[in-house]
Amino acid sequence: MGTLIARRLLALVPLLVLVSFFVFILIALVPGDASVTLAGGENATPERIAEVREELHLDESIFQQYGRWLGGAVQGDLGDSLFARTAVTSDIAERLPITLGLAGAALFVGLLVGVPLGVLSAMRPAGAIDKLSRFGTTLGISIPGYWLAIILVVLFAVDLRLLPPSGYVPFFENPLRWLEHIALPAIALGTWSAASLSRQLRAALIDVLDTNYVRSAWAKGGSTRLIVVKHALKNAAIPVVTILALQTGYLIGSTVIVEEIFTIPGMGPYFLRAVVSFDVPVIQGVVLIFVLAALILSTLADITYGFLNPKVRVS
Amino acid sequence: MSLRPDTTGLAPVAAVETVATARSTSPRLRLVRRLLRKRGTVLAIAFLMLVAIAAIFGTAVAPHDPNAQDILNSNDVPSWSHPFGTDDLGRDILSRLIVGARISVRISLQTVLLAGLIALPIGLVSGYIGGRLDNLLMRIVDAMLAFPPLVLAIAVAGLLGKGVGNVALAITIVMVPGFARLVRASTLAVKEETFVEASRSIGTRTRRILSHRILPNVRSPLIVGMSLAFGAAILAEAGLSFLGLSQQPPNASWGNMLRRAYDHSLYTHPWQLWFPGAVIALMVLAYNTLGDALRDALSASQWVPTRDHHRKPWQAWNVLQAWQQRQRKTRRGLTAVTRIEVPAAPDPAPLLAVEHLSLEFDTEQGRVRVVDDVSFSVASGEVLGLVGESGSGKTVTSLAIMRLLGSPPARIAEGAVYFEGRDLFALSFDEMRAIRGAELSMVFQDPMTSLNPAYTIGDQLREALRLHEHVDRATARARAREMLDLVQIPAPEQRLHEYPHQLSGGMRQRVMLAIALMCRPKLLIADEPTTALDVTIQAQMLDLLRSLQRELDLSVIFVTHDLGVVADICDRVAVMYSGQIVEQGTVGEVFTRPQQPYTEGLLAAMPQTGRAGDALYVIPGQVPHPRAWPGGCRFHPRCAYVIDACRSERVSLTAGPNGAAGPTPHDVRCLRSGELDLRGSQ
Ligand SMILES: Nc1ncnc2c1ncn2[C@@H]1O[C@H](COP(=O)(O)OP(=O)(O)OP(=O)(O)O)[C@@H](O)[C@H]1O
Ligand code: SF4
Ligand SMILES: [Mg+2]
């Protein structure tokens, strides 16, 4: 198991190099002369253009620029915002926990609803619950999260006035108020998670419930609970965990729009402001953090995979 | 939202296509028919057509100028002249939705098709050529896949600059790596298949293999993957539009309409938020429904509930009852029983009596009967051989006794199984559970897959005991060790801690046997316990079974198609053909004086019987599929003694002497049993 983890982490190194290069190379997408565009386009002053050119070392080759950027990134320095002049790293450090909290809450909603739904519909494919849940989950993966968020705002905040329509209170300031503010965005994001998770779990469980070893367990006189919880779920979890990690990576990305709608001061609004103003260091920093989060999740999934699958663990 | 193809359930596509082509109707027609069978799919197609019309004709079908402002009529609720109302600038919402359709349709088609087109050669080359190039390409693909799709799309679209074209480019870039992986995976799968190997060895050129062999098999998964990506593309575009990166106001797109309504009408006219959002959702829903249907239609045939055509809407009460009944009957882990009559138990009751058992499966082609009026019994301490060629129904009969067949699709249509006088088909799930593994056990045909890969041998042994007896861990562990000893597994203590994949096939079958015997059952059903093993292991396994049977005074149903084994270890034998018992009696009787041509054929096919030097005899023809059982005697197409009457007359099983003075020495199903002089095994 130790070697498995070590091997996984080692394999991550070349991937990280490639990924970070892709993040950096985003700057190449900027149309026209990057220094002009980044300095403000048409109304850029020559001084400002020179300044940007200097700051981003745009005169060097792209690989030299990359090396410099990566060197800084490894030491925790992602440069400064071109406009706010603040350090990207500390900006992100401030906002990331908020986003992760939201993503965590959404994942919680996803698991809370998705797992039981997946299990129940797999128990009786084409049964009443399954038909209903298939309908529900098809809707769930089709409804845009941002629209669902807006509908939730209309219903719960504007009409019923149960929850605040926007804003944010840090968890450590007041956990209850935090929950009030995070509930709607978490449900808006978690619905998609729950729907896709339950579909994946249903498919995996139906496959596993059809296997010979599950038949052996019935033949022993096992109860439904024993079959599902012990024999089927553990095996069905093997493919699902991988997919779940992938989806959670996506989920973190999807917080961007939802944060914008609820004006939650996380990574989303910060990222979007940077995107519309060509604030390249911020864009690179945020994208890098999002990729890293996704990579960490998928690595965790691989390690969990090893725990669940003795063929990987014992060999 | 995910811009990557969801590939679950795509694997069997290639295999099924070949089956489909074998049928008489054209596969494409069948596909369309399967697609249109579901109402949801038809609705989805209809909606997509409607949107397509809007996208093609745009302003020509729009009732108003989509950009014409009319401040006097702003925020009008839906009316005849403005069916969806007007927005805060007095623009007609319906007209704006219609012109917005063009953006969504264009983006979804453009991005998915382009991404597919780019990904196809990458995946093909990577999968087919392999090696360094594959390694490099897949590294790049993996790195791109690591990015959360929406974040990447926002960054790329934002940096390229606002606009529909750049958004399309961004979405395409995000989609390519997922498709490339999909194509590569299907290429690899096909490449491994023998026919590609074969054509490579005859020297077919690589390009020909790629275009004639691999491409057709890559097509289905890619089409399904792409059809599921359309919805994701729409969602992404609308999202970017919502964020102000795509279509710029005043021109309408669904996403920017939603944004405008959110910014300007959330508190005052929240109804305006419904239309653009609902259209996006419906569009994605339609695409997803179509994609799902396509996947289902292309992948392995699934169980489909048989429709009851005679149901009338005004019989609501009956429908409700039927539904409730079905809910009650279909339960995981217990075969449903739909018999109407219950045959009486024989008197005196043997240990096990199967009475007039008939089994049916609900399949896509309708209901098929696979076991037809089967009766046999097993006395205490007796070993009954159940023999017949592959497909004759031995396994399903055994599973039905244990009620282990899944419902749907299986149902016990007729008959009863009396175990120690109790009708197993009348038991509840919990009552059945108490018997399974405790008094009635089964060892399955395939030892490689019958143990749970996620738990140790010891765990699975102990579980078998603790399900039925309240013992502490230490006792359970000791018993598990003992049982492994009993089935002659060396170093049992160590084996207890191992996982199934660490054991050989023979070892696994011994473990299965140990599990089955853990609670000292009265009856063991052994379904070809040795077929999957190699010959020397087979012999050991049989010796073991025989000695255990004597030692534990077990009753055994031994399922096999090897008559040599039957002669070796069985007391009585029942011969099955096409779901029926065709001959039944003591081994001595049946083997020396067979009364039924099928039995004679089986005996002649035994390697032990054939004279040295002779080619091994095989019964000509094949076991018919249950859907194609011939009328009259089911064996008649293959029988050497067939007469005209065999083709038309119903042939029943005549009882032997123990069923009063019958005309035959034991139970036989043959019109000519009295007059034929058939050869036995000596
Ligand atoms: N789930 C199912 N749905 C439809 N038909 C089925 C199903 N399971 C089995 N059958 C059919 O029932 C028939 C009997 O199958 P069964 O497995 O009992 O044969 P068998 O005598 O055990 O053969 P073998 O020697 O190959 O094990 C076969 O024709 C098979 O196609
Ligand atoms: S009934 Fe006729 S066809 Fe059938 S086994 Fe007897 S002789 Fe052959
Ligand atoms: Mg069988």
DSSP state for residue B348 in the 8-state scheme: S
Q: Which residues, 6+ apart, have CB-to-CB distance to B131 below 8 Å?
A: none
Q: What is the largest CA-CA distance in chain A?
A: 82
A97 Cα: distance to centroid of ligand 1 (angstroms): 57
Q: What is the pLDDT of residue A91?
A: 95
Q: What is the pTM of this model?
A: 0.84
Residue A22's pLDDT band (boundaries 50, 70, 90)? Answer: very high
Cβ atoms within 10 Å of B81's Cβ, excluding its own: 11
What the block records as the tokens of A306 is 């090893």
Cβ atoms within 10 Å of B514's Cβ, excluding its own: 27
Quote the CA–CA distance of B588 and B568 in Å, as a whole number.
11
Of residues B562, B464, B555, B451, the one with CA closest to residue B510: B451
Q: Which residues, 6+ apart, have CB-to-CB distance to A38 below 8 Å?
A: A30, A52, A56, A82, A278, A279, A280
Instruction: Estimate the crossing angle of helix B254-265 against helix B215-242, to 10 degrees.
Output: 30
Quote the CA–CA distance of B153 and B147 in Å, as a whole number.
9
Q: Whose CA is nearest to atom 30 of ligand 1?
A: B391
- Tens digits of per-residue pLDDT, A189-227? 999 999 999 999 998 998 899 899 999 999 999 999 999
What is the residue-wise DSSP string for B82-93?
STT-B-TT--BH
The answer to whether B418 and B503 have CB atoms below 8 angstroms apart is no
Nearest CA in chain A to B324: A128
Quote the CA–CA distance of A247 and B79 in Å, as a whole number.
43
Q: Whose CA is nearest to atom 14 of ligand 1?
A: B393
What the block records as the tokens of A205 is 């469980």
Of residues B227, B261, B322, B224, the one with CA closest to residue B8: B224
Quick check: B539 pLDDT over 80?
yes
- Tens digits of per-residue pLDDT, A32-51? 777 787 877 777 788 888 88
Produce one character per residue of A16-32: b if its CB has 16 or more CB atoms within 10 Å, e if not: bebbbebbbebbebbee
Mutation target to probe the B interface, by most B beta carbons within 10 A, among A216, A247, A290 is A216
Pairing relation of β-strands B422-423 and B572-577?
unpaired
Q: What is the pLDDT of residue B250?
A: 87
What the block records as the tokens of A20 is 């970070």
Mean pLDDT of B223-239: 90
Query: Between chains, do A143 and B437 touch, taking CB under 8 Å as contact?
Result: no
Quote the CA–CA distance of B273 and B263 in Å, as a whole number.
10
Quote the CA–CA distance of B158 and B240 in Å, as a whole number.
9
The answer to whether B258 and B276 have CB atoms below 8 angstroms apart is yes
List the single range of B208-222, B239-253, B506-520 with lowest mean pLDDT. B208-222
Mean pLDDT of B596-623: 79
Residue B659's pLDDT band (boundaries 50, 70, 90)? Answer: very low
Say whether the peptide bond before residue B630 is cis (omega within 30 degrees of 0).
no
Return the percentage of chain B with pLDDT > 90, whole number: 47
Q: What is the pLDDT of residue B198?
A: 67
Determine whether A125 is exposed, middle or buried from the number of CB atoms within 10 Å of its CB (0-12, 13-18, 19+): buried
Query: Between chains, do B404 and A142 touch, taking CB under 8 Å as contact?
Result: no
Query: Between chains, do A147 and B258 touch, taking CB under 8 Å as contact?
Result: yes
Quote the CA–CA distance of A285 and A82 in Å, as a whole number.
12
> B635 in ligand 2 pocket by Cβ < 6 Å?
yes
Quick check: B183 pLDDT over 80?
yes
Residue B1's pLDDT band (boundaries 50, 70, 90)? Answer: very low
Q: What is the pLDDT of residue B325?
A: 52
Quick check: B201 pLDDT over 70?
no
Query: Between chains, do A272 and B284 touch, taking CB under 8 Å as contact?
Result: no
Quote the CA–CA distance of B534 and B544 in Å, as a whole number.
15
H helices of B37-88, where? 39-57
How far off is chain B from A184, nearest CA to CA, in Å? 16
- Tens digits of per-residue pLDDT, A85-123? 899 999 999 999 999 999 999 999 999 999 999 999 998
The answer to whether B573 and B585 have CB atoms below 8 angstroms apart is yes
The answer to whether A103 and A247 have CB atoms below 8 angstroms apart is no
Q: What is the pLDDT of residue B384?
A: 95
Mean pLDDT of A255-272: 94
Q: What is the pLDDT of residue A220?
A: 95
Q: What is the pLDDT of residue B196?
A: 63
- Which of A45-49, B130-134, B283-287 is predicted most confidently? B283-287
Quote the CA–CA distance of B226 and B168 in Å, as a whole number.
15
Determine whether B136 is exposed, middle or buried from the number of CB atoms within 10 Å of its CB (0-12, 13-18, 19+): exposed
CATH 1.10.3720.10 occupies which residues in chain A?
A: 97-313
List the single range of A108-112, B84-88, B253-257, B416-420 with lowest mean pLDDT. B84-88
Instruction: Judge whether A278 is closer than 8 Å to chain B, CB to CB.
Output: yes
Mean pLDDT of B254-267: 91
Q: What is the pLDDT of residue A56?
A: 82
Quote the CA–CA distance of B143 and B220 in Å, as a whole number.
26
Quote the CA–CA distance of A22 and A17 in Å, as a whole number.
9
> B651 in ligand 2 pocket by Cβ < 6 Å?
yes
- Tens digits of per-residue pLDDT, B87-120? 888 899 999 999 999 999 999 999 999 999 999 9
Quick check: B395 pLDDT over 70?
yes
Of residues B103, B212, B113, B80, the one with CA closest to residue B165: B103
3-class secondary structure per residue, B240-287? HHHCCCCCCCCCCCHHHHHHHHHHHHCCCCHHHHHHHHHHHHHHHHHH
Quick check: B309 pLDDT over 50?
no
Phi, psi of B527 (to 5 degrees): -90, 100
CATH entry, A97-313, from 1.20.1250.20, 1.10.3330.10, 1.10.287.3510, 1.10.3720.10: 1.10.3720.10
The answer to whether B374 and B579 have CB atoms below 8 angstroms apart is yes
What is the residue-wise DSSP string for B622-642?
-PPPGGGPPSSSTTGGG-TT-
Phi, psi of B157 (to 5 degrees): -65, -40
End-to-end CA distance of chain B: 72
Q: Which residue has the higher pLDDT, B216 or A106?
A: A106
DSSP state for residue B77 in the 8-state scheme: P
Average pLDDT value for chain B: 84
Q: What is the pLDDT of residue B22?
A: 42
- For each of the domains in chain B, give its residue range(s) and CATH number, in order of start: 34-298 (1.10.3720.10), 329-436 (3.40.50.300), 594-682 (no CATH)
In the beta sheet, which residues pair with residue B428?
Answer: none
Q: Which residue has the higher pLDDT, B249 or B370?
A: B370
The answer to whether B198 and B209 have CB atoms below 8 angstroms apart is no
How far off is chain B from A23, nearest CA to CA, in Å? 9
C-alpha to C-alpha distances, A315 to A8, A312, B147, B492, B675, nearest whole angstrom = 16, 7, 32, 19, 64
Instruction: Judge whether A210 is closer than 8 Å to chain B, CB to CB.
Output: yes
Q: Compute and round to an integer the Cα radius of gyration of chain A.
A: 23
Pairing relation of β-strands B422-423 and B410-419?
antiparallel
B43 Cα: distance to centroid of ligand 3 (angstroms): 43
What the block records as the tokens of B500 is 């199934």
> B646 in ligand 2 pocket by Cβ < 6 Å?
yes
Q: CB within 6 Å of ligand 1 — which residues?
A: B 361, 363, 370, 388, 390-396, 409, 445, 561, 625-626
Quote the CA–CA distance of A67 and A47 in Å, as a whole number.
26
Instruction: Judge whether A156 is closer than 8 Å to chain B, CB to CB.
Output: no
Query: Between chains, do A222 and B463 touch, taking CB under 8 Å as contact?
Result: yes
Residue B612's pLDDT band (boundaries 50, 70, 90)? Answer: low
CA quadruple B157, B160, B163, B164: dihedral sign: negative
How far off is chain A from B155, nearest CA to CA, in Å? 6
Quote the CA–CA distance of B578 and B624 in Å, as a whole number.
7
Q: What is the pLDDT of residue B618?
A: 83
